[in-house]
Structure 1
């Protein structure tokens, strides 16, 4: 526990090295809530975003196993927003493309390091019930426990080829509307996750405290009843009439 606490303090003291440099506003409450508990530490997050991404064609000489990494490194972001957007913004971004361009919706994602497996299981249950059904838990070789909140309602559509728009503006408008609907659903799931997480953490703390208090109370009552029963037994033995001398034998025959 001391090691996790020390690691968490060091982690949260680091500068935010993400592209944006800060936590997205729609999930600030979730991040603060988790980091306020000793058992959790958030490591990365994104509230969800709409992106127009330009990526050059993969060189024929590139190995298939490293192709994804090469594409990722060479990507250029032409537009990114964490809110719903308009077709005008997407078309303006596409006009700046000189290579292949994609329009993408990426849902909420959150990575949390947990102190114990049961803590990760609690988050996993909350995430699944909120609609983030691609969530999962991983345990590293050294016992590092990570919980990832993920969803499957993504969207990725190629729109231009070598800087030329390959679809009609009407289709672009349709795709943007679909993505906006996914973004709105994404926010509803975030709200459910936040509410359920608050309830789960409060309820777990209350249950733990209650169970400890009930256990102490139960032990005290058990001790009291045992003493009372022992006293009553001794009283009965002292005043019970015996057949002969007035004293009962220790063993039955």
Structure 2
């Protein structure tokens, strides 16, 4: 079966499904990136979050890792005020944690070469416990200090999304020009056609480690690019 056609059908099915996120739609600051990727035949997005500040309440598993079924006391994709956190903490009955999570984007890619276009790196988060068994363990002054940091990270995160979007635009433009030149060469030179087919075969091979593409600079953003393998 033609992998490109199979990828196209899989993409259409995925994008036609209802948005199952809590918000039910793509975050405003992530819309441009998501729409650009989904407009390309070699990519489609499966989930995203533009970045958020949230307050979770739930016991840990003993190693400090939050259990899956915890209570969301507060979540915002905008700068957060201390009064909002203090009001939300009144509902804490267990171990409440204040978190900042940067832009997260999961992308399915048609080939290995397409996946190499995206970088994967994340160093911009924040996670601080505030209560234990429902008891507040820090001062309001410290919470205000944490929110100053979290809000600064939110603003920086927004700037990084903008830079990533600009880099992505340039990357897909280069790829479009490169593909156009390759097709012209293939049309005029049968030997070039056979060579490109061999190179495409290497790009489909997950064991290929030679990096012939350019990565986008996505410092502080979590961009997960998964390779489409299809059904054999």
Aligned to 2:72: 77
Q: Which aligned pairs between 1:16-31 and structure 2 lie closer than 5 A?
A: 16-31=19-34
Where is the helix percentage greater, Structure 1 or Structure 2?
1
The answer on 1:97 being equivalent to 2:68 is no
Aligned match for 1:178, one of 144, 149, 156: 149
Contact 1:57/1:99 (<8 A) preserved: no
RMSD in angstroms over aligned alpha carbons?
2.0
1:154-180, Cα deviation, whole Å (9 max, x unpaired): 111011122221111110000000111
- 1:87-143 alpha-carbon deviations (Å, 9 max, x no partner): 11111111221211110001111010000111110122xxxxxxxxxx1xxxxxxxx
TM-score, normalization by structure 2: 0.75
Q: What is the CA-CA distance between 1:217 and the residue it aligns to?
A: 9.9
How many pairs align?
186
Distance apart, 1:210 and its partner CA = 3.3
For 1:113 and 1:218, the matched residues in 2 are separated by 33
TM-score (norm 1): 0.69
Give the Å deviation of 1:203: 1.7
**Structure 2, unaligned stretches of length 5 or more?**
190-232
User: Any conservation in 2 of the 1:87–1:173 contact (CA below 8 Å)?
Assistant: yes
**Which residue of the partner structure matches residue 131 of structure 2?**
160
SS at structure 1 position matched to 2:124: coil
For residues 53-64 of structure 1, the aligned pairs below 5 Å read 53-56=56-59, 58=61
Larger radius of gyration: 1
C-alpha displacement of 1:54: 0.4
User: How far does residue 209 in structure 1 lie from its aligned partner after superposition?
Assistant: 1.6
